[in-house]
Structure 1
Amino acid sequence: MPEPVDTIFNPERILQVADLEDSRLDEYLRLSEAHLRMRTDVENGLYIAESTKVVQRAINAGHQPRSFLLAEKHLGQLVDEFNRFPDAPIFVGDDRQLENLVGFHLHRGAMAAMNRPEPLDLEQVLAASSRIAILEDIADHTNLGAIIRSASGLGVDAVLITPKCVDPWYRRSARVSMGTVFDLPWVRLNSWPEDLATLKSHGYRMLAMELTDDAVPLSDVEISAGEKVAMILGNEGRGVTSAALEAVDQTVIIPMYRNVDSLNVGAASAIAFWHLCSSPR
């Protein structure tokens, strides 16, 4: 049975997905991984928030929805959000219609097409922070979402991503992060690794998690009160690039046992962030 809907929003805003000719639905067409990689949503100022929790966190962070898309049974979960944005159309449909539209089974409640806010200023973010995570060319959206969730929950002040890193606001990244990507400041760097000079000018000590001849165990890294620290985590396959390693002050490792080479970057990031953020600031 559909959930009861508080009718304080205008029911005339509810539009049926059956009319696929409505151009406002184009933003939801074929949201499968393969199709999204061929689209230029970042340049168009669009991202898709998936699940009621992610939609709510995005809106609470100040982002503005263009429209909502959901099954009728979930209408009651977003009444407050509908009322905050009375001009955003609400598209509803049954499970089959929604799957035909987006290209997969929509089982997490709702979606919203969102306007991207203006990017944050790197200099301002660095000045306001003391613990920074730098994600170099992370290629998997699930890994990125997991890293951001750990960064947010463990106390990292901000995340910087390199030009080739996947999009933190891509629907899978945002969903895996449980919407924390909307609360944690992040900046996409313009030039890599040249932008590391900007961090150094702000007094950041540069660490990189990478197995090198002079790498030290993470637990041996001592951080003084008041010290600013940035940690680079590399691509899932190749790790941190040699160009970035040349610019850092120290490489660190998590010692492993039973012939296990390394942890997944998502798991490794959680350990690194806990160590960095448990040190005095």
Structure 2
Amino acid sequence: MTSPAPLSERIVELSDPADPRVADYTSLTDVSLRRKLEPERGLYLAESSKVLRRALDAGHRPRSFFMAEKWLDGLRDVLEAYDVPVYVGADEVLEQITGFHLHRGAMAAMHRPEPLPLESVLASTRRVAILEDIVDHTNVGAIFRSAAALDVDAVLVTPRCADPLYRRAVRVSMGTVFQVPWVRVEHWTADLQRVKDAGFLTAALALSDDAVTVDALAAEAPEKLALILGTEGQGLGAATLHHADRHVIIPMSHGVDSLNVAAASAVAFWETRPR
């Protein structure tokens, strides 16, 4: 294995916001464009020094780094270890490229990891969260953070669910999307049967007449449990509710009937964690 070229030879000073070499970092505030562009290019963006380091610690490979000069020293160990370009520019140039002020430090364009096979993920897990059509990146990131903290072994996301590797989801998760294995299932709700066939009790968080409380579910002490979460507005689909083994509610007071899905996930993960 060859050693990386000296850092001084890989630093690229940016002066032109239209420089084609930094195409990975352009128009970051255009959510619709970036949602399409990043998977097509096989990349995602890690924003902030802490998130960037967590991505690298997880074994993900950088395509390039992007930052103001003042961040070079704090990341020198990382920058010297990877033989990729380091794009550096004045704040105003970087802002013209990205569309916003980089106040969180460095960014890195990362190669997306290879998708994980569903069967192998299910075979090695006891607690799984399934996110059905949750399109808000903030909620997805927050759910991953709770999953990492509360012993959820893996996350499955449905075809219409927001990308866990989108910049905002990664940032809100504080990089825990790199720690929790996840799979985007291709055939929902048919893949729910594959989860059940792997030995999981499937529990849908939903307001229904036959729902049990989350503490009652925990008392069943299922060896393998998959918790299914949907959006507050639409909730879970009819097919999902039909095929789930249990419907589950979180008991609440003062006439409140639901929580934000990220908050609800944390409660459910804690209550049903493996004992």
Report the TM-score, using the length of structure 2 for normalisation: 0.94
Instruction: Give 1:238-249 correspondences, 5 Å limit.
Output: 238-249=234-245
1:48 to 40, 45, 49: 45
Equivalent-residue separation in structure 2 for 1:107 and 1:262 (angstroms): 35
The unaligned stretches of length 5 or more in structure 2 are: none
Alpha-carbon contact 1:95-1:106 (below 8 Å) kept: yes
Match of 2:130 among 128, 134, 151: 134
Structure 2 residue corresponding to 1:211, chosen from 200, 207, 210:
207
1:188-215 C-alpha deviation (Å, 9 max, x unpaired): 0010010011111111000010000111
After superposition, the C-alpha distances for 1:144-164 in whole angstroms (9 at most, x for unaligned) are 000000000111000000000
Q: Secondary structure at the residue paired with 1:246?
A: helix
Which amino acid in structure 2 is aligned with residue 51 of structure 1? S
Q: How does 1:86-125 map to 2 (within 5 A)?
A: 86=83, 88-125=84-121
Query: How many residues were matched structurally?
Result: 271
Cα shift at 1:36 = 3.3
Which residue matches 1:170? 166
Structure 1 residues 215 and 159 mapped into 2: Cα distance closer, same or farther (>3 Å)? same
Answer whether contact 1:27 1:113 (CA < 8 A) is retained: yes
Is the CA contact (8 Å cut-off) linking 2:232 and 2:258 kept in structure 1? no
Per-residue CA deviations over 1:51-91 (Å, capped at 9, x if unaligned) read 111111111111111110011111122222212212x1001
Q: Which residue of 1 aligns with 2:14?
A: 17
Name the residue aligned to 1:84.
81
Q: Which amino acid aligns with 2:258?
A: S
Aligned equivalents of 2:222, 2:258: Cα separation in 1: 31
SS of match in other structure, 1:195: helix
Does 2:182 match 1:186? Answer: yes
* Aligned-residue identity in percent: 54
Amino acid at match of 1:271: V
Q: Quick check: 1:138–1:236 contact (8 Å CA) kept in 2? A: no
Alignment RMSD (CA, Å): 1.6
Listed one character per residue, the Cα deviations across residues 210-260 of structure 1 (whole Å, up to 9, x for unaligned) are: 000111111111355671100000023211111101111111111121122
SS of 2:174's equivalent?
Answer: coil
The whole-number CA distance in structure 2 between the counterparts of 1:53 and 1:150 is: 18
Distance change in 2, residues 1:233/1:35 (3 Å): closer
Deviations 1:261-280 (A, max 9, x none): 21100100000001121x42
- In structure 1, distance between residues paired with 2:127 and 2:219: 11
Q: Distance in 2 between matches of 1:256 and 1:141?
A: 26
Equivalent position amino acid for 2:102 in 1: L
Corresponding position of 1:66: 63
Structure 2 residue matching 1:255: 3-state secondary structure: coil
Structure 1 portions without partners, runs of 5+: 1-7
Query: Structure 1: how far apart are the matches of 2:13 and 2:165?
Result: 27
Q: Separation in 2 of the partners of 1:34 and 1:202?
A: 36
User: Aligned partners of 1:245 and 1:35: how far apart in 2?
Assistant: 30
Structure 1, 132-141 or 253-262: larger mean CA deviation = 253-262
Counterpart pick for 1:158 among 113, 136, 154: 154
Could you tell me which amino acid in structure 2 is paired with residue 74 of structure 1? W
Taking structure 1 as reference, are residues 142 and 157 closer, same or farther at Cα in structure 2, changes over 3 Å only? same
- Give the direction of change, closer, same or farther, for the CA distance of 1:186–1:34 in structure 2 (3 Å limit): closer
Task: Give the structure-1-normalised TM-score.
Answer: 0.92
Q: How far apart, in 2, do the equivalents of 1:222 and 1:100 lie?
A: 51
Distance (Å, rounded) in 1 between the aligned partners of 2:56 and 2:265: 27
For 1:258 and 1:265, the matched residues in 2 are separated by 19
